[in-house]
């Protein structure tokens, strides 16, 4: 940035979350003035330890469901609990954060004529009967099931974003995020990557739901953030866009790789599949490639190695110490 250049101001809601904090770091590196808003319902201020040292980052504790008084030229809306453990704990708060939060931010975007990049989710596809999932697929979602507070909340927010674009001309861009992992994931969020790594490092049985043959696609957080930045740089975006890694792995394959990389011989513990849990999930990223050139770069093995290193550090485990217990004497 040259002398006298004016920094653009960006608002990131859900800034203290896993993805939000990585996005904040990237935006600061891109020379934005960044305002981070978070209710800390599930966010963790330690995720912003690096950002907080930067004079161009400004944190505000606040709820997107309430009126906001923030100036911004670009908004990234990541405010909502995003894992079953968290979003099922308070389903009312989850649903209203998605829908009322979207409404508040759209009103701000409309009044200030700024761009909003809205983080939706692959959960809008429910338990899909189309594979992989293109943006044109409408989904197979149970509107009254235990996951509906998140699934339908995100679908409702997409409706608001689309109607605001259609009716008011708001530059609202919808990104459907598929399974993402990496450093700063919460240990107890119930996501399969964080659960397997935490359990393996502590020599606890790895919890596998169902027969373990259900599949997911795992995108390293740096790749996802790159995709979000690319979407924000487009002249405009009509309709939702999938962001994720199309590489597909079963839960058994993931468990085997995590055990190999952690050096753990912890057993697998099989439990019943939760209600409405999708059997398979993989993004069709044709649209993202065509419009932005997006393509994930970090292989699962490399991403897991980095994530495991972060978990070891936060769990207070010596990198040189093997995870498995010493043999019985």
Question: Each residue of 265-320: pLDDT tens digit?
Answer: 999 999 998 887 888 899 999 999 999 999 999 999 999 999 999 999 999 986 54
Q: What is the pLDDT of residues 126-154, one digit of tens each?
A: 999 999 999 999 999 999 999 999 999 99
Write down the pTM of the prediction. Answer: 0.93
> Residue 309: inside a domain, yes or no?
no
Domain housing 114:
9-185+218-246+281-297
What's the total number of domains in the chain? 1
Question: What's 233's domain CATH number?
Answer: 3.40.50.720
- What is the distance between the alpha carbons of residues 308 and 197, in angstroms, rounded to a whole number? 7
> Residue 310: inside a domain, yes or no?
no
- What is the distance between the alpha carbons of residues 309 and 306, in angstroms, rounded to a whole number? 5
> Residue 2: inside a domain, yes or no?
no
> Residue 325: inside a domain, yes or no?
no
Q: Please give the average per-residue pLDDT across 149-171, as a whole number.
A: 96
Residue 150 annotated in active site:
yes
Q: Please give the average per-residue pLDDT across 162-180, as a whole number.
A: 97
**Of 125, 150, 181, 220, which is the active-site residue?**
150
Place of tokens 């609990």: 81
> Residue 108: inside a domain, yes or no?
yes
Q: What is the pLDDT of residues 80-137, one digit of tens each?
A: 987 777 778 899 999 999 999 999 999 999 999 999 999 999 999 999 999 999 999 9
Is 133 within 8 Å of 282 (Cβ atoms)? yes
């Amino acid at each position: 940035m040259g002398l006298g250049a004016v920094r653009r101001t960006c608002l990131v809601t859900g800034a203290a979350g896993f993805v939000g904090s990585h996005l904040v770091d990237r935006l600061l590196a891109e020379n934005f003035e960044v305002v981070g808003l978070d209710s800390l319902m599930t966010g963790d201020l330690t995720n912003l330890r690096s950002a907080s040292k930067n004079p161009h980052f400004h944190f505000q504790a606040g709820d997107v469901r309430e009126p906001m008084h923030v100036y911004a030229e670009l908004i990234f809306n990541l405010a909502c609990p995003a894992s079953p453990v968290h979003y099922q704990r308070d389903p009312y708060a989850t649903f209203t954060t998605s829908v009322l939060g979207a409404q508040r931010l759209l009103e701000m975007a409309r009044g200030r004529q700024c761009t909003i990049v809205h983080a939706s989710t692959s959960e809008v596809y429910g338990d899909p009967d189309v594979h992989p999932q293109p943006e044109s697929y409408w989904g197979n979602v149970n509107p009254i099931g235990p996951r509906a507070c998140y699934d339908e909340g995100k679908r409702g927010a997409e409706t608001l974003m689309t109607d605001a674009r259609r009716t008011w001309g708001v530059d609202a861009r919808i990104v459907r995020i598929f399974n993402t992992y990496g450093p700063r994931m919460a240990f107890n969020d119930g996501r399969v990557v964080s659960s397997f790594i935490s359990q393996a490092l502590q020599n606890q049985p790895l919890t596998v739901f169902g027969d373990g043959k259900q599949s997911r696609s795992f995108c390293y957080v740096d790749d996802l953030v790159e995709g979000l930045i690319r979407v924000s740089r487009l002249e405009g975006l009509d309709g939702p866009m999938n962001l994720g890694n199309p590489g597909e792995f079963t839960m058994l394959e993931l468990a085997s790789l995590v055990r190999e990389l952690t050096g753990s011989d912890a057993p697998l513990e099989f439990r019943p599949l939760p209600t409405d849990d999708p059997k398979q999930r993989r993004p069709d990223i044709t649209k993202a490639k065509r419009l932005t050139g997006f393509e994930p770069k970090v292989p699962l093995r490399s991403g897991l190695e980095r994530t495991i290193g972060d978990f070891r550090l936060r769990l207070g485990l010596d990198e040189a110490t093997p995870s498995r217990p010493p043999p019985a004497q």
